[in-house]
Amino acid sequence: MPAARESLLEAAGAALAARPWPAVRMVEVAAAAGVSRQTLYNEFGDKAGLGRAMVQRETEWYLAGVERALAGPAGPAERLLALADWTVGAARGHPLLRALLTGCWPPGLPAPVPRTRPGELVRAVCERAAAAPAPGGAGPLHCELVVRLALSYLIVPGEEPGGQWADPESWRPITPTITRVIETIFRVETRSPRKTMP
């Protein structure tokens, strides 16, 4: 039952936003979704199964945004900038996604089993960038460098008062930095016969 499953995942996400994962109770998730507890168990098996489904849903949501960022009409450099913008902005408001991207799993979040390595998600992003149709498109190296730069802002947030995640726009200053890096990457790729960074 897709509708019940989606409602349960929404309810579980809302519960996780309010309290740590160990304090999230299955009966409360079912009640918030308007279904019976038995329906919840039928759908996910147990709480660990619900956690795995939440991780999978977050991954799919992020990758769908990656595809949207890479599907724009702009050139490859602008697409990579949109990708970096999406990565940092999405992770800002989604602790579960931030954990998936960085590999830093606080005890208050449901962890994937087996544990997902951040490199696997980065690889999935780069595969989508390489497949995006664009003349002179971004290669895997371009994509990986840009994604890793974006991830550095997730691992070491800005120093503004209240922390990077307190202000929705506080991460925006990374855009000029990433823009300069992307321009440098493409300039080196064009001019260097060895196609290596200096």
Closest CA to 95 of 163, 6, 48: 163
The CATH number of the domain where 11 resides is what?
Answer: 1.10.10.60
Q: Which amino acid is at 31?
A: A
Residues 39 and 73 in one domain: no
Q: Tell me what pLDDT residue 163 has.
A: 45
For residues 191 and 178, give the distance between their C-alpha atoms in angstroms, rounded to a whole number.
20
Domain that holds residue 35: 1-45
For residues 26 and 51, give the distance between their C-alpha atoms in angstroms, rounded to a whole number.
11
Q: Tell me what pLDDT residue 133 has.
A: 64
Q: Tell me what pLDDT residue 1 has.
A: 52
Q: What is the mean pLDDT of residues 183-196?
A: 57
Residues 36 and 68 in one domain: no
Residues 62 and 39 in one domain: no
Residues 66 and 12 in one domain: no
Pick 100 or 189 by higher pLDDT.
100
Residues 40 and 56 in one domain: no
In a domain, 28, yes or no: yes
Q: What is the mean pLDDT of residues 93-109?
A: 86
Residues 165 and 124 in one domain: yes
Q: Tell me what pLDDT residue 34 has.
A: 95
Q: What is the mean pLDDT of residues 59-64?
A: 94
